[in-house]
Amino acid sequence: MNYLLGYLPDDYLREIARYYSQLQPPYPAPVTGASGAVLARGEALVMKGDASRNLPACRLLPRTSTTRKLRQW
């Protein structure tokens, strides 16, 4: 990709950027109606993880070496 873009004039690249910046893609409606059990399970995974499946808590990933381990998968 860098090779292709490296030879395009700056004016044309700005025109492409302007075009894409003005697009208004239709986003899907947010999912609603999750049960209390589903929300509670999601919160538990974020806050505590799941030791039985060897899953760390999501809230800990940026601050631990776990991120490096997950990237190796």
Q: Could you read off the pLDDT of 26-57 as tens digits, one per residue?
A: 888 887 888 999 999 989 998 899 999 988 88
Cα first-last separation, the chain: 26
Report the number of distinct structural domains present in the chain.
1
Q: Please give the single-letter amino acid code of residue 29.
A: A
Residue 21 lies in a domain: no
pTM: 0.42
Stretch (H or E) spanning 20 = helix 10-21
The pair of three-digit structure tokens given for residue 52, joined into one six-digit string: 């039985």
The pair of three-digit structure tokens given for residue 29, joined into one six-digit string: 């409606």
Residue 68 lies in a domain: yes
Residue 25 lies in a domain: no
Q: Which domain holds residue 73?
A: 35-73
Stretch (H or E) spanning 12 = helix 10-21
The pair of three-digit structure tokens given for residue 54, joined into one six-digit string: 């060897």
50, β-bridge pairs: 55
